[in-house]
Structure 1
């Protein structure tokens, strides 16, 4: 990617309570950095207009960590992270997604990411973006394990549909409902997410 900021917003969902993890999963150690930092670093390489992290259950911890998450922003070509609080996070992923998309009141497409998919690389996101650029009226979605899911890039006209997400029905339900409007982009790395401390430790042990 060049140094020019592109008209794209990145939305990283990190509002959940991580009940299976038992603590603030978003800030768990991942190769010496917070787990969330992996998603931010990949998103930042796209040079998006905005990167918004949605915090909820662990909003105070994320707010405290925000300076460290922005420590790599050294010039105007690097997008800083904005932290958005969603106090009603217990209503579910869909509600936090809808809340965040409404916060982005503009005509930019929006890239939806999760905070717990640390294997997603900058190249994965650039590949997704390039596929979307070839068909900007459609949704570009990660394709893995015989399904569609996030990361997914939604053109602005689909924001109204994202507003309607509720409960635990997030972007994936929308991708399946509008599958005829989706460009699937192979992304095996999207299959791995961190649900439990065992997921994290097992992967890190294998990586040594």
Structure 2
């Protein structure tokens, strides 16, 4: 099994609310990420930081493990590192699929394809391609984790994936994350087929 780590610790300053709790469909962005993730894996870790107790109480879907990120304000690198540490404490994994809470337009079928690819070649990184960039969601094999633990600030593993020339599965929806209220409204419109 390939575990999925959902990074959902950000404050969402430009969005005007804790990003994980932004309304999406019948729940929140985190509810939706957990729902889609569950269609690809039986092990889900939700890394939460800003408004942690509120996020836990208002999230209807439940991860396998909650992962508190006390230093979430230092950037995405801290959420990623905390999540991988949590997975390391819960068992031995060949790697983990990392997804972001603010990419709700990525279909569950894309997550399933990434998990399938990781199952075939567990020692190779595979990301999502949108345009000319490799990005999350991405499978990070355990051999890359030491490099992830060296990241600082608001950086994810995209730079590592691109430097390696990692294989990527195409998904244009990955380029549309949600950072502002206007982007949230546009994503809702697109999700409804508008």
The reply to whether TM is greater than 0.5 is yes
Larger radius of gyration: 1
Match of 1:139 among 125, 128, 131: 125
**Offset of 1:135 from its aligned partner?**
2.6
Does structure 2 retain, via aligned residues, the 8 Å contact 1:97–1:165? no
Corresponding residue for residue 75 of structure 1: none
Q: Is residue 196 of structure 1 aligned with residue 180 of structure 2? A: yes
**Offset of 1:142 from its aligned partner?**
0.3
Match of 1:129 among 93, 109, 115: 115
Does structure 2 retain, via aligned residues, the 8 Å contact 1:18–1:195? yes
The DSSP-based 3-state class of the residue aligned with 2:73 is helix
Does structure 2 retain, via aligned residues, the 8 Å contact 1:39–1:118? yes
Q: CA, structure 1 residues 169+202, in 2 after alignment: closer, same or farther (shift >3 Å)?
A: closer
TM-score by length of 2: 0.90
Match of 1:28 among 22, 32, 54: 22
CA distance in 1, matches of 2:41, 2:188: 29
CA distance in 2, matches of 1:69, 1:136: 28
CA RMSD of aligned residues (A): 1.6
Corresponding residue for residue 39 of structure 1: 33
- 1:153-203 Cα deviation digits (max 9, x unpaired): 112222222222221121112212222xx1111111211111111111133
Runs of 4+ in 1 over 3 A off after TM superposition: none
Q: Is residue 184 of structure 1 aligned with residue 168 of structure 2? A: yes
Gaps of 5+ in 2: none
CA distance in 1, matches of 2:57, 2:135: 30
- 1:124-168 Cα deviation digits (max 9, x unpaired): 011112223333221010000210100001122222222222211
The DSSP-based 3-state class of the residue aligned with 1:110 is strand
- 1:41-79 Cα deviation digits (max 9, x unpaired): 11101233x21111111212112124x123xxxxxxxxx
CA distance in 2, matches of 1:36, 1:19: 17
CA distance in 2, matches of 1:170, 1:183: 17
Gaps of 5+ in 1: 1-5, 71-79
| Equivalenced residues, count | 189
TM-score by length of 1: 0.84
Q: Is residue 155 of structure 1 aligned with residue 155 of structure 2? A: no
Corresponding residue for residue 107 of structure 1: 92
